[in-house]
């Protein structure tokens, strides 16, 4: 009898195990059944590239299209410098929150740029200073020496004469002064200064501001040469050296008073 009971219990246990296995398999089958009515079929081979969205669009538009103008740099808090900006730089300029632009180019401002300024509430201050080039093939020092010798012989070159025909006559003192007044007025900040390449005319205006900040001439010239590089002009550096800042000393410069 005991043998029969053990055999029956064994069969009962086996049946229960089979039922449990069946239940597990049914559970797995239910769990793996997916409602595919709302699932789009995969794209056919070869169409994935056509259906993919451009990276720029996925990322939100202009975030990956921020191109600064040529020779762009920060001068001081709320003051920037660069070469002439074009439409490719507009998205970047928007991030600066500009209130004003000082242009040192004499040519009429492009219509495309004017539209950008108007749509972003930016005021244009234009102080046209003609660009000029040294004689090709001559170092600045040689060019300056030849120019000086020529005008000394003509009797028109005298250091004591305020109206002297210095070779940096192409950088009009009065226009730099007017531009400097705009530059020092915090109401116009954030502000961008630019000429054509962001080297000579822009460098002279920034250099004159540095004199007000009590920078030494060595540091002023180093900054100028960093942007002008091989095209640095002795005439520009002489202009900055002789520029008289005494008439600006009453103007507060709370945006920065750094000195070197």
Whether 165 contacts 255, CB under 8 Å: no
Neighbours of 176 (CB within 10 A): 23
Spell out a b/e string for 91-107, using b for 16 or more CB atoms within 10 Å of the CB, else e.
ebbeebebbbbbbbbee
Rounded to whole angstroms, the Cα distance separating 85 from 113 reads 8
Q: What angle do CA 222, 224, 225 make, to 5 degrees?
A: 65
**Strand segments (E) across 83-169:** 100-103, 123-126
Inter-CA distances, 143 with 26, 29, 150, 167, Å: 96, 91, 11, 9
Active-site positions read: 195
Tokens 């559970």 belong to residue: 27
């Amino acid at each position: 009898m005991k043998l029969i009971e053990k055999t029956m219990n064994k069969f009962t246990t086996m049946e229960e195990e089979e039922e449990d296995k069946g239940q597990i398999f049914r559970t797995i089958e239910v769990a793996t059944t997916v409602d595919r009515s709302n699932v789009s079929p995969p794209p056919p081979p070869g169409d994935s590239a056509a259906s993919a969205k451009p990276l720029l669009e996925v990322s939100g538009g202009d975030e990956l299209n921020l191109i600064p103008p040529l020779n762009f740099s920060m001068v001081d808090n709320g003051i920037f410098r660069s070469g002439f900006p074009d439409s490719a730089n507009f998205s970047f300029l928007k991030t600066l929150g500009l209130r004003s632009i000082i242009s040192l180019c004499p040519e009429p401002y492009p219509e495309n740029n004017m539209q950008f300024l108007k749509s972003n509430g930016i005021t244009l201050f234009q102080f046209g200073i003609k660009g000029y080039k040294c004689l090709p093939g001559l170092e600045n020092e040689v060019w300056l020496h030849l120019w000086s010798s020529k005008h000394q012989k003509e009797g028109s070159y005298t250091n004591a004469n305020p109206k002297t025909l210095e070779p940096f006559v192409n950088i009009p003192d009065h226009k730099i002064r007017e531009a400097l007044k705009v530059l020092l007025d915090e109401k116009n900040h954030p502000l961008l200064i630019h000429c054509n390449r962001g080297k000579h005319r822009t460098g002279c205006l920034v250099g004159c501001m540095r004199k007000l900040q009590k920078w030494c001439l060595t540091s002023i010239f180093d900054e100028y040469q960093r942007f002008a590089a091989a095209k640095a002009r002795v005439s520009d550096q002489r202009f900055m050296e002789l520029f008289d800042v005494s008439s600006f000393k009453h103007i507060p410069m709370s945006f920065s008073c750094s000195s070197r």
